[in-house]
Structure 1
């Protein structure tokens, strides 16, 4: 799906949904149902749920059409977050210092996915005209509060990541989990940008929060520049894309361009198409320096960038 240049990744996601339903929907045939129940605790099942949810939420953020499987199934069926930050159920017990850091990060990552999915559903409701402006404002305020609460509830390893200069990073008390923490915070900041863009779409009455968005972009891109190394860069295409599309700073745009060109060596067509979309957005910024009012179609993307 990540290698796709076209919309067919959405079709693959819907196909994965049918596999999910076959795995978790009771079977009317007693023999098949007994077999399904017997396999419920297989660790690979949790991994597949986590993998599906990872791509499902990424697709929801791209399309603003919600997830293909409703609900926080990665919380109830995945047995904890498994895919992007390690696979504990498929490995031996780990007592290293990074294990506790990853455990806390998986938990807050799962909550962040819930918020991302909710923002996507908010975008879907706006796109289809299901909400009045007053209802939109209420949903936006609720989602913003959820992001604030997420930050308040975040584990110490996230709370303690402050300045990103070399001296400050050298004093960071959890060096073994630093790259993971940077990845999670980059997603947090990009999710804030995503919420603001969805809320302001087709709303000329909402004043653009240029300074706030610029600060969020800068923090996101600095986290990526300082902490995303080598193959670890494949974990941050979405925040890189979201911050890159919103940034109006030419130096930041240059950094995003260089990083996405570098990431193309891994062969994923979605990165190549993502850069094409960014170049169009940056051209539009230069053509309309005073800004414009986005529609939901401007916020949406045809590219799957987890």
Structure 2
């Protein structure tokens, strides 16, 4: 990101942090209860945003609807925590709403500047992440969009601001601020390590982040929207192949890269249903559907449900 935009983003984050505590307290005290009826502590169920992109639904793994939840454009759930990214009119454009079991109103609400794009929860349920578009509405053309990605810690209320404020290491060396964009955060279970995409100088990079040191280290190019497997050995991601994206799985230990048996052109952050199966959303003729596909490159896609933004409920680790 250039210095002017970094300064503007930093000023905005400072302003947000100055009002975040009051915003959270006010929302928790006075916000009207939502119709959240999700069984957030029931592992092994599928959470999706409906085909209209308006509300969360909980389904069996086979796609049977078993519950509805709050209004969301993007959502993710893990270990009893639901993060909901909802678009709004007004200067902040969106809200991050974080729900806990047994509550129909958000436990935390944060204003963010941009349109909803990605959402994730750490396997422990302690960390929530989001990505918003600050201009444009797709990742299709490098340099023609602007994104902001942030992380919030439910245990202590720490707001990590934007990943643009982290130190970036390329080839082991710190690099000065540039025209960078970050998106698609995914967490390890240690509540410290995470992965994300960084775009800079026309290339995309898989970045490994450390919340303790506030550093991001480049691991590999041409990796977008990473999703860490439950066993933390692999990353499902979308890879640019020609003019389209293709879903792949990267083994972090060996570097083996496996294309999945999914059609080209999928613009989504995949989600692992288990250690052998990856789910993703796809738009077809104006409608959105969630599919599952084997993570080893075999088989073929199976349609699970109408909707988008899939994630799998899990128990706390």
Structure of higher RCO (CA pairs closer than 8 Å, 6+ residues apart): 1
Higher helix share: 1
Task: Point out the structure with max Rg over C-alpha.
Answer: 1
TM norm structure 1 = 0.30
Higher strand share: 2
TM norm structure 2 = 0.29
